[in-house]
Structure 1
Amino acid sequence: MINKKNQETLSHHLQKLEDISPKQLNKDQKDLIKKMLELLFNDPNTTTLEFENAYRVLIQRVKVGFTFDAAPSEAKNTISLLVKDEEKSFVNDPLKPHNQLIIGENYDALKNLLVIEGERESKVLTLFTM
């Protein structure tokens, strides 16, 4: 049977859970932990010690879990302006395959190349239609 001390313990743990920063536990995670604690609390076979241990295990994620800095997002309303560097430019050998693998974190550079290639193609189309 649940006594008043256990009810106070549940209330105390739920309040401590609410006090945890949203950066450490989001609302969905808090709701899930609350549900688990209430299920354990209402289970007649769960002892006070087991309830306390379950709370510690569920909250332990906050202490040892990974936290990440906010990732920079892609600027959708801007484009980088590239200037051709003749020293670093190269010419494809017509005898070699046209597609080559570029290794590294070059997403922004590749995105800009797509824009430049699109502009070049539109200029070529404009010249042919004139």
Structure 2
Amino acid sequence: MTLLDKFKGLIDEISSKELNQDQKDLAIRILEKFEDKDLEYVFQFIAQRIKTGFRFDSAPESNSQTIALLEKDDNLSFVLDENKTKENTLIIGENYDALKNLLLIERERESWRAS
């Protein structure tokens, strides 16, 4: 058994509460990038990050069958220069639904440009 195989096994043994399968696969791919002489250091780094609370946030589930409807709030809206055309949309903050809709708007705009 090689050192890489040993560390792959140790990563596979980590509880799914600590690391999900995608994260385990990523950790293994990281290990595979290094030479044998560096594997122990890299594994210790990965293991230390897991123990000290280093976590990958799970991405929100995307329901591709629905979109959120957004309504413009004139009280929160602003105009930098009324003489310029309104080509860009600015979304500030972590708003997943708004970003998902912005992606839909951009896809619509791209398909309109292509036709």
* Structure 1 length-normalised TM: 0.38
* Structure 2 length-normalised TM: 0.43
